[in-house]
Copies of this chain bind each other. A is one copy, B any other.
Amino acid sequence: MVKHLGKDSIEPKLIPGKYQFYTMRYCPYAQRVQLVLNAKKIPHDPVFINLTEKPEWYLKMFPAGKVPALTYEGKFLSESLLLADFLDEQHTQIPLWSNSPLQKILDKIFIESFGKVASSFYKFMMTGSKLEKNNFDELVEYIKLIESELKIRSTKYFGGESPKMVDYMIWPWFERIDCIGIFSKNLFIFPFDKFPKLAEWRNAMITDEAVASYYLSPEKHAQHFINRKAGLPAAFDF
């Protein structure tokens, strides 16, 4: 269990030579940056922020009060995709973006289009008091496009023969999709059997070191969504 810092918390001291990484344990956007930090083995010091009752020192530093964010050389940096680019350029060991500008923009356009999966997943999970079949069907429709993309690429991972930036940027939502069964008490089960390429990819991703070391079980993710729906804070520690 990690402890999220809330309203009256004290700002943790900066550790020189390390990034201060502001995050929230259940935020998929923050997880993107965590995966990049892990994959590139970049020293960092995570600070978990309670997003429901934000620390005053954090709001003073960053009025938008969002995560993920990094401090570096006294500068405050934010936005998951911008941070991913920055870390890949600043730490050139273990490059995660393709060195082909064309492949890189195609990956970025794909990641942008993946936004539909992210938003339809949250719509299904969080809208109303009852889970809706049409929202679930919409999510499944969008996932079809992701399966097709992997088929067209005909590689094990979206980024080639090992996980690359494009894989890490979409992974957080796939980690969460597995919790639909538990969350819905088996009313809805995500049909991975209909998506053989994605199912293989998912199984391979889970064993990747960067992913595995930050992985949360479907039970944990389901509990987070149950807590959120019950009106508990966004960073409820359990």
Contact = CB atoms under 8 A, between A and B. Distances in A.
Contacts of A137: none
Interface in A89-112: 89-90, 101-102, 104-106, 108-109, 112
Contacts of A108: 79, 82, 85
Contacts of A73: 102
A72 B102 contact: yes
Contacts of A106: 75, 77
B109 A82 contact: yes
Contacts of A83: 105
A78 interface: yes
Nearest to A64: B113
B79 A112 contact: yes
A86 interface: yes
Q: Which range contains the number of A residues in contact with the other chain?
A: 20 to 34
A106 B89 CA distance: 13
- Find the residue from A73, A101, A108 having the highest chain B CB count within 10 A: A101
A73 to B, nearest CB: 6
A170 B78 CA distance: 20
A94 to B, nearest CB: 15
Contact of A90 (B72, B82, B85, B102): B102
A206 B168 CA distance: 42
Contacts of A77: 105-106, 109
> Ordered nearest first, which 6 A-B pairs have the shortest CB separation?
A89-B101, A86-B105, A90-B101, A82-B108, A86-B101, A82-B105
Contact of A102 (B86, B104, B109): B86
A83 B104 CA distance: 11
Contacts of A104: 85-86, 89
